[in-house]
Each structure stands twice: as C-alpha cells, then as structure tokens.
Amino acid sequence: MRSPGSDELLKVWERGLAENSVARALALLEFFHPDISADALADLSIGVRDGMLLDLREVLFGRRLAGLIECPACGETLETEVATSDLRTLPTDGPPEVSWSNYNIRLHLLDSRDQVAVEQAKSEERSRLLLERCIASVRFSGEPIPVANLPAEIFAAVENRLAELDPQADVQLALSCAVCGHQWQSAFDILSFLWAELGEWAARMLRDVHILAAAYGWSERDILALSPVRRRHYVGMLEAWPTS
C-alpha cells in the first residue's frame, strides 16, 4: 500500500466529491493500490473491499474509531468507540450455494458493480434487487427455473448464506444506551465513516493552508510539503500570537 503525501490525498478527496459512495471507495483503493487494476477492484466482493478500506483507515487515522450515535429509544446522543479489530469478521468456508427442499441455488457474492446497478432504485426495493443479482442460477429438481419463481423463503436462506460467505459486507455494532438501558444493533458502513473522516481531515488541511499562506505568503505546495508536526506548530504559533 502506497503512502501518499497530503497534496495527493487532497486531490483524491476533491475528485471524490463529485462521485457516488461506491465510486469513492474504488477511487481510494485504486489510488492506494496502484498494482491492482480498476476492474479487479470492482470485482472484489463487498466484504473484501470493505476489509481493504479498514486497512486503509488504519494507515490514515489509526485503529481506534470514535463517533456519535443517537439512541432510537430515548433520543440521547451517545459517544461510542471501537477498534478496527472489533469490526473484522471471518467468512465461513464452503461453496457459494444454497440447497433448500428441491431447490439448488448457485450464488455470486455481491460486488461494487451490483451496488451501482441498483443505486437508482427505491430504498425499499434495493435489498430485493441485490438478492436477485447475487443468484447466478436456480434449479428445481434438477431443472433450471427463473429467479422470479422462487418462494420468499428461498430469499431468506440466500441472505443468510451471503452473511456467512461475506460477513464483512454487513457489520453490525452491538450498542447499549447508558441513559435508558436500551440495547440494539446498528449497521456500520466503513466507507461512509472513512469518507467523513477524510472530509474533516481535508477541511483542517485547507484551513492550515489558508492560515499559513495568509501569514507567511507560502504556496500551497510548500505548506502541504511540511510534516504534520511542523505545520501544526506553525499554525499554533500564529493562533497564539497577539492580535493587537
């Protein structure tokens, strides 16, 4: 994995502002893994892709993740903190298929292309469309049948099997409210979390550039080339400087 400078990382963030979330994920991974083609990254299962994003998060911001979440029972805003190791899961070995009664279903693990394909669908339809896309073939008593003819119970079995084969694609946090005692699970999306952190980092960087350029007349390139320690010391000295 490459280690970019601040200038390069800002450019990746800037380009991603005009992209959807999946394109942002692939752009980040493509930049940090120039040895892997864009097509190969798009072919990765969602869980494998998100595991790589966790690796990237550790490189950029460390292993501890902190955030705020609202209790669905009492509305209290809670602070939560987890380690990246707590978010990692291990897939179950076995063939990508489901056997149920006389049905045999071959599966395709969902990838970034599948997410993009259903992006414009209504939110209530998206899960069903993704499940349909992950079904490569269906046989009933040995004969092929259309996916549309499957009973609802099959889709539940398919969803459970996908969770076993690619669990990193659907990470759930176990949470408890310290105020009312309510316990619940909340989905954790590494891409949304990482992109929000990257945006906060970019805002701080641009603020530092503005402060130092206005004070010293330095160029953006020169300021971004400074080490983080030196840059923060310069900004700290300016902020402590008397204004009158």
Q: Does 152 score more than 90 pLDDT?
A: no
- Amino acid 244: pLDDT: 57
pLDDT per position as a tens digit, 23-68: 999 999 999 999 999 999 999 999 999 999 999 999 999 999 999 9
Q: Give CA–CA dist 23/38, Å, rounded.
A: 11
Joined tokens for residue 41: 């990254």
- Amino acid 78: pLDDT: 93
Q: Does 155 score more than 70 pLDDT?
A: yes
Q: Does 2 score more than 80 pLDDT?
A: no
Q: Does 20 score more than 80 pLDDT?
A: yes
Cβ neighbours of residue 226 under 8 Å, at least 6 residues apart? 234
Average pLDDT, the chain: 93
- For residue 18, what is the DSSP state? T
Rounded to an integer, the average pLDDT of 83-98 is 93
Q: Which helix (H) or strand (E) holds 104?
A: strand 103-107
Residue listed under structure tokens 């008593």:
141
Q: How big is the CA angle at 83 (ends 75 and 60), to the nearest 5 degrees?
A: 105
* Contact by Cβ (8 Å): 106, 134: no
Joined tokens for residue 95: 């063939």
- Percent with pLDDT over 70 in the chain: 99
- Amino acid 86: pLDDT: 94
Q: Which helix (H) or strand (E) holds 137?
A: strand 135-140
- Amino acid 123: pLDDT: 80
User: 187: phi > 0 → left, psi -120 to 50 → alpha, else beta; which?
Assistant: beta
pTM over 0.95: no
pLDDT range class, residue 150, cuts 50, 70, 90: confident
For 22, 44, 62, the CA distances from 55, given in Å and listed in that order, are 17, 15, 9
Joined tokens for residue 10: 């800002």
* Contact by Cβ (8 Å): 133, 113: no
pLDDT per position as a tens digit, 163-212: 999 999 999 999 999 999 999 999 999 999 999 999 999 999 999 999 99
Cβ neighbours of residue 178 under 8 Å, at least 6 residues apart? 76, 78
The total of other beta-carbon atoms located within 10 Å of residue 165's CB is: 20
